[in-house]
Structure 1
């Protein structure tokens, strides 16, 4: 069972890197965020109708997660404004495994085996090193926003890991999070972009935005399910293998450089993942 769950998390990682690539390439990221919300709203509206209500203990987690996801999306947009995909994405994702490791130890009392803990450290170190430039310095005004994004990722992952366990039904839990997060988000984006009608002017772009939403919601549903079977820090670290996929996507589709340093960093992340699995 554990091996199957790990495969689901890796699939989630690929989907996550793919929708972030859509967001980075979009000419209007705020608009794409609104289109991105449509599949979330549709799926979650059905989900909350057919699934059992989460346990009362889960509602503080649901509300907190919705607020954190909303903030995360807008800090991510700001981070992508002037930074390379292959730099900003690893910064945002690389910070969170270490923070989650500490948070899970403090709040969920999850102490990982020494090998797994070492693996988490290697994953974070490898991912963060993907973002280094020549001379081992960060560049770009987007870096502080990427770091803030990583903080939001860590906090909402920890909240969701705990909330999914007390909700009774993890899928019901995440459907309510999706609804409470994406309805306000869609309303805000429509207000910023001239109303609902203007959102659908370009059908091709609209379809691409909604595809990004489908990838994103599917990816995180897989993670929420994985939280039931594996420690929060382990799932989160494996999920951050998406940074390797992000580097490859940046190289193939965005013509970003694939340097020896980045390949070494990818190898470091892979070694960390192996240790986590062992």
Structure 2
């Protein structure tokens, strides 16, 4: 069972890197965020009608997660606005496993085995080392927003790990989060972009935006289920293997170089994942 859950988390990591690539390549990231919300709203609205209500104890976690997810999306966009994708993504994703490890230890009383804890550290080190490439400089604005994004990722990961366990049904839990987060997000983007009618002018662009949303919501549903069976810090670290997939996507589809530095970083992340699994 554990091996199957790990495979689901790795699939989630691939999906996560893919939707971030859509966001990075978009000419209007705020507009894409609005399109991104549409499949979330449709799927979650149907799901909450047929799934049992989450247990009462999980609703404070749902409320907290909604706020954090909403703010996380806008800090991520703000970080991409002034920073390079190859720097911002690793900083934001590499910071969160260590923070989740600390949060899970304090709030969920989950202490990982020494090998797994070492693996979490290697994953974070490997991912963040991807951000430091020769000839690249950090923007004064991009790094603080990337670090803030990593903090929000860690916070909602711990909250969702605890909330999904209390809810009784992890999918029902996350569907309520999706609905309560994406309805106001879509309305805010529509307001900023001149109304809902102007959001749907290009069929191909709308399709790409909605595909990104489908990938994102499916990816995190898999993570939510994994939280119910594996330690939160373990799931978070394995999920951040998305950075390796992001490197491969950049190499295959964005003409980015697969340098020796990147390959060493990917090797560190892989070694960390192996230690976590052991």
TM-score by length of 1: 0.98
Residues in 2 aligned to 1:142 and 1:256: alpha-carbon distance in whole angstroms: 20
Q: Is the 8 A contact 1:85 1:250 kept in 2?
A: no
* Structure 1 counterpart of 2:152: 152
Q: 1 CA distance for matches of 2:29 and 2:149?
A: 16
- Give the conservation status (yes or no) of the 8 Å contact 2:133–2:261: no
Q: Distance in 2 between matches of 1:251 and 1:75?
A: 26
Query: Do 1:94 and 1:125's aligned partners in 2 also have CA atoms closer than 8 Å?
Result: yes
Residue 231 of structure 1 is matched in structure 2 by 231
Alpha-carbon separation, structure 1, partners of 2:168 and 2:249: 37
> Is the Cα contact below 8 Å between 1:131 and 1:138 reproduced in 2?
no
Partner in structure 1 of residue 188 of structure 2: 188
Q: Which residue of 2 aligns with 1:214?
A: 214
For the residue of structure 2 that corresponds to 1:204, the secondary structure is helix
Residue equivalent to 1:269: 269
Give how far 1:170 is off: 0.6
Query: Counterpart of 1:248?
Result: 248
1:3 maps to 3
Q: In 2, distance between residues paired with 1:143 and 1:10?
A: 27
Q: SS in structure 2 opposite 1:81? A: helix
Q: Which residue of 1 aligns with 2:12?
A: 12
Alpha-carbon RMSD across the aligned residues, in angstroms, is 1.0
Match of 2:205 in 1: 205
Unpaired runs of 5+ in structure 1? none
CA contact (8 A) 1:123 1:272 kept: yes
1:48–1:172: 8 Å Cα contact kept in structure 2?
Answer: yes
User: 1:132 — aligned with what?
Assistant: 132
Report the equivalent of 1:88: 88
Alignment of 1:158-169 (within 5 A): 158-169=158-169
Distance in 2 of aligned mates of 1:219 and 1:5: 13
- Residue 83 of structure 1 deviates from its aligned partner by 2.1
* Distance apart, 1:138 and its partner CA: 5.4
Aligned equivalent of 2:175: 175
SS of the residue 2:82 aligns to: coil
Separation in 2, partners of 1:9, 1:233: 12
Deviation, 1:253, is: 1.8
| Cα 1:138–1:119 shift into 2, 3 Å | farther
Structure 1 Cα separation of the partners of residues 110 and 162 of structure 2: 11
The CA deviation at 1:192 is 0.5
CA contact (8 A) 1:85 1:246 kept: no
Runs of 4+ more than 6 Å apart: none
Contact 1:87 1:132 in 2 (8 A): yes
1: CA distance, partners of 2:137 / 2:156: 25
Q: Is the 8 A contact 1:118 1:272 kept in 2?
A: yes
Give the deviation of 1:79 after TM superposition. Answer: 1.0
How far residue 161 of structure 1 moved from its aligned partner, in angstroms, is 0.2
Distance 2:216 2:263 in 1: 26
TM-score (norm 2): 0.98
